[in-house]
């Protein structure tokens, strides 16, 4: 059984609107351009619909008006059409000169781009430059798209470089639009003094267009004690856990080990925590049928976090099972989209996970950026000489067993380990991920209340992007990005290193791509420049997409290893410096301000 997130949230998914701009001069000029302009708009819409999907797996919907835009009246008509249709992102296209400020998209909350056709018959590039100047002057930054090679007027193709830019912008713009109006569910408060769990509501409101819903962890206890959950689903979930979640040996000291009856009760508790937290996030109509109408509504939350430590975990089973299953692309109800959820209520890591999820539609990994292992240290401890991708050392990503089970690498694509959108996952993939995972009784030194932590080792060879948003006093949010790969270690080497930390937790051996320069001089320097204790790790090299999305949201990027030729930001950024792109990014984000800070 496969289920989608359609209906999880209030409202429909935002659509992408294509704005076909044209030279408005009639009696020959406009009429000669109508067919070419309309066809260009249609091709753009088809490209997007064929390549992009919403989080529920359905193709992205694209709205193309039935007329072109030659001036302000027609621009207003299209704006009204887009309002009615629920358009959240706009792309203006044209093969010709048009009247810039009369035809431009003026909505301050809509991410926007302009594609000017590179042809010689009509000056599409001239309009592109003129309208981008207007966008910059009016404080409405837009991405500029211009093909490298000149095309003939009757060329019905979209060049490959233009396709890349259209799709990169469309993914970023759509992610920003989906965020708007959703919630972050803060289940608890500050965890162990971790700064990311000091939930900053203005950040969510102004930069992401979201609201923060705060619920005390006692709500979990109330719902468990008062039976505010579906008992039929609970029985189903518990049976599934018993059948599919093998329990590992108890590594606690004998005097700290729970009895079999206590462990069985912990299994019941963690399953209840999972379904109750899901109900808190997105609601559950079954609760209304059971007489719990208020609880049935949920919080319209696209993201959540659980404090856990220590007030909950000193007393009750930890949240590892809950967090791992919510973040996975399956549970007892079958294959489904993940619920993005942050351990230790680290809202900033959760926000980063959410951005990466909306760009990829794949489950995300939450992990501590725990240890840099140099080649010398590995050899000293194990006698093993690192080689290949790992020759310069690696970073041990590990946290208590709350990582998505998709990260096992047991799922495959084209015969290689992968993390996939839920609609590509098979029952065999799910079985393989579950078989690769062992659930150990929680380390009661950390978790006095018990519970269960997942343990697996991510298979090597998966392309990964580690990212993190941090808040800087006086500046606001900043983003760092490191593309790299998971790597395999010989079994005995893994065991020797893993035993030095907590071997009951999931491990990801990660090597960032280094270039000998700045923070990416080597693996050690990446670790030394990581700005927080947690990282959000996504399958695939998505750094360029994250940078584009960050610019839409006005979050500057202070560290990345993305090739310069792949960086795509609004054209206004070039007005603030071209020799120092990082500095220009900071200046632009400060000058234009957060996307949703404009009301």
Residue matched to tokens 């659509």: 15
Per-residue burial over 295-322, b if 16 or more Cβ lie within 10 Å, else e, is bbbbbbbbbbbbbbbeebbeebbbbbbb
Residue matched to tokens 């270039």: 515
Residue matched to tokens 């001069």: 25
* Interatomic CA distance for residues 480 and 365, integer angstroms: 16
At residue 238, the 3 state secondary structure works out as helix
* Interatomic CA distance for residues 418 and 196, integer angstroms: 29
Per-residue burial over 579-594, b if 16 or more Cβ lie within 10 Å, else e, is eebeebbbbbbeebeb
From the list 200, 331, 344, 406, the catalytic residue is 344
Q: What is the DSSP letter of 332?
A: T
Is 205 one of the annotated active-site residues of the chain? no
Give the alpha-carbon dihedral of 350, 353, 354, 357, to 10 degrees. Answer: -160
Report the length, in residues, of the chain: 599
Cβ neighbors of 301 (< 8 A, separation 6 or more) are 182, 183, 184, 185, 213, 280, 281, 282
Q: Specify whether the CB–CB gap between 386 and 378 falls below 8 A.
A: yes
* Interatomic CA distance for residues 404 and 506, integer angstroms: 9
From the list 23, 230, 368, 585, the catalytic residue is 368
Q: What is the DSSP letter of 168?
A: H
At residue 59, the 3 state secondary structure works out as strand
Is 344 one of the annotated active-site residues of the chain? yes
Extended strands (E) in 273-364:
301-306, 330-331, 334-336, 340-343
- Catalytic positions, written as ranges: 344, 368
């Amino acid at each position: 059984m496969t289920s989608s997130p359609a209906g999880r949230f209030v409202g429909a998914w935002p659509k992408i609107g294509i704005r076909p701009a044209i030279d408005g001069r009639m009696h020959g000029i406009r009429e000669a351009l109508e067919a070419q302009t309309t066809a260009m708009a249609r091709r753009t819409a088809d490209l997007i619909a064929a390549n992009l999907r919403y989080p529920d797996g359905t193709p992205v919907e694209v709205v193309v008006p039935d007329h072109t835009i030659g001036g302000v009246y027609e621009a207003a008509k299209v704006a009204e059409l887009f309002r009615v249709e629920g358009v959240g992102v706009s792309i203006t296209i044209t093969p010709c000169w048009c009247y810039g400020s009369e035809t431009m998209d003026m909505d301050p909350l809509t991410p926007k781009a302009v594609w000017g056709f590179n042809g010689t018959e009509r000056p599409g590039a001239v309009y592109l430059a003129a309208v981008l100047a207007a966008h910059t002057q009016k404080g409405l930054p837009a991405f500029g798209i211009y093909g490298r090679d000149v095309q003939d007027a009757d060329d019905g193709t979209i060049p490959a470089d233009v396709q890349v830019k259209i799709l990169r912008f469309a993914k970023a713009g759509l992610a920003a639009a989906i965020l708007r109006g959703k919630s972050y569910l803060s289940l608890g408060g500050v965890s162990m003094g971790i700064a990311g769990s000091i939930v900053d509501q203005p950040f969510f409101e102004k930069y992401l267009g979201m609201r923060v819903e705060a619920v005390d962890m006692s709500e979990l206890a109330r719902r468990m004690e008062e039976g505010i959950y579906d008992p039929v689903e609970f029985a189903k979930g518990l049976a599934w856990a018993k059948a599919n979640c093998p329990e590992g040996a108890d590594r606690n000291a004998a005097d700290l080990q729970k009895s079999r009856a206590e462990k069985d009760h912990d299994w019941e508790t963690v399953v209840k925590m999972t379904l109750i937290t899901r109900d808190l996030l997105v609601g559950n109509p079954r609760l209304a049928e059971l007489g719990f109408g208020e609880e049935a509504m949920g919080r319209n939350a696209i993201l959540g976090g659980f404090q856990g430590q220590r007030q909950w975990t000193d007393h009750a089973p930890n949240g590892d099972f809950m967090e791992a299953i919510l973040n996975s692309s399956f549970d007892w109800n079958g294959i489904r989209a993940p619920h993005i959820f942050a351990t230790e209520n680290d809202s900033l890591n959760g926000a980063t996970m959410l951005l990466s999820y909306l760009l990829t539609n794949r489950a995300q990994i939450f992990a501590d950026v725990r240890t840099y292992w140099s080649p010398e240290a590995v050899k000293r401890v194990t006698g093993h000489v690192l080689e290949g991708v790992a020759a310069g050392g690696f970073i041990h990503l590990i946290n208590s067993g709350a990582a998505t089970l998709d990260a096992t690498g047991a799922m495959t694509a084209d015969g290689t380990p992968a993390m996939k959108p839920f609609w590509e996952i098979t029952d065999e993939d799910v079985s393989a991920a579950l078989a690769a995972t062992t659930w150990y009784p929680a380390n009661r030194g950390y978790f006095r209340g018990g519970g269960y932590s997942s343990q697996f080792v991510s298979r090597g060879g998966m392309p990964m992007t580690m990212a993190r948003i941090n808040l800087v006093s006086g500046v606001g949010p900043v983003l760092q990005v490191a593309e790299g790969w998971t790597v395999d270690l010989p079994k005995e080497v893994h065991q020797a290193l893993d035993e030095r930390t907590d071997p009951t937790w999931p491990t990801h051996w990660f090597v960032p791509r280094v270039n000998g320069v700045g923070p990416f001089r080597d693996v050690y320097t990446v670790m030394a420049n990581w700005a927080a204790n947690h990282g959000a790790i996504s399958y695939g090299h998505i750094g360029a997409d994250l940078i584009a999305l960050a610019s839409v949201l006005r979050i500057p990027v202070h560290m990345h290893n993305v090739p310069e030729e792949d960086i795509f930001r609004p054209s206004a950024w070039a007005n603030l410096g071209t020799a120092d792109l990082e500095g220009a990014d900071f200046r632009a984000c400060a000058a234009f301000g957060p996307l949703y800070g404009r009301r």
